[in-house]
Amino acid sequence: MDTQVPVTDEADAARPVLEAPDIARALTRIAHEIVERTKGADDVVLLGIPTRGVSLARRLAAKLDEITGTQVPVGSLDITMYRDDLRMKPARAIGRTEIPGDDLEGRLVVLVDDVLFSGRTIRAALDALGDLGRPRAVQLAVLVDRGHRELPIRADYVGKNLPTSLRETVKVQVQEEDGRDAVLLGQRTSPAGLH
């Protein structure tokens, strides 16, 4: 007699740790911190890391516009070909890199991502950025920092520090991609694989 093991979606068993109002407040706080630390955000360029980092970067740009009255350039930075796990994971589609304006020379680039985990995504982003120009400085803004760093990388702006175990998953949902805003914490049903 065959018995089937029920397949469960990790997101179904996850519980929300941030909802839409919490995410909006976190992004507003990050925007204010960027303005304060960069003394007005005059030479700031926001680059979102696909997929959800791009949506978060656009929202940050809108909040910075509200605060400063100046439109902050926003773009995207695809890191697919710079990842060190290309051999271990299935093939992925290459995303778009969009650099606003002429170039990044002398600008302060704020990389924007949804979750900071091992640090490998950000290392790949720094490698990709190095091929595009030489910014004056690079900072990092993340919605969630879940710990477990494998590389010496730290975010300059964090929406929420969320201590986790390696058996837990953190999934960010954004309205633009998922139809809702939430950060979900769940339990991994398969062996841990760092992303």
Helix (H) or strand (E) holding 191: none
- Alpha-helical runs (H) found in 38-119: 52-68
| DSSP-derived secondary structure letter, 180 | S
Q: Any idea what the CATH number is for the domain that residue 161 is in? A: 3.40.50.2020
What's this model's pTM, rounded to 2 decimal places?
0.88
Which structural domain range is residue 56 located in? 20-81+103-165
Instruction: Supply φ then ψ for residue 61, to 5 degrees.
Output: -60, -40
Domain count for the chain, please give it: 1
Note whether residue 58 is domain-resident.
yes
130 occurs within a structural domain = yes
Q: For residue 177, is it within any domain?
A: no
Cβ atoms of residues 104 and 132 within 8 Å: yes
E strand intervals along 35-103 = 44-48, 74-76
Which residues of the chain fall below pLDDT 70? 1-12, 86-93, 190-195
**8 Å CB contact between 170 and 184:** yes
Structure tokens at 20: 């839409």
Domain assignment of residue 179, yes or no: no
Q: Is residue 110 part of a domain?
A: yes
Widest distance between CA atoms in the chain: 69
pLDDT given at position 85: 72
Residue that has been written with the tokens 């070909």 in this structure: 81
Q: Which pLDDT score, from 0 to 100, does residue 92 have?
A: 63
Does 1 fall in a domain? no
What secondary structure does DSSP assign to 11-30, as a single string?
A: TTT-EEEEEHHHHHHHHHHH
6 occurs within a structural domain: no
d(CA 107, CA 150): 28
H, E, C per residue of 53-65: HHHHHHHHHHHHH
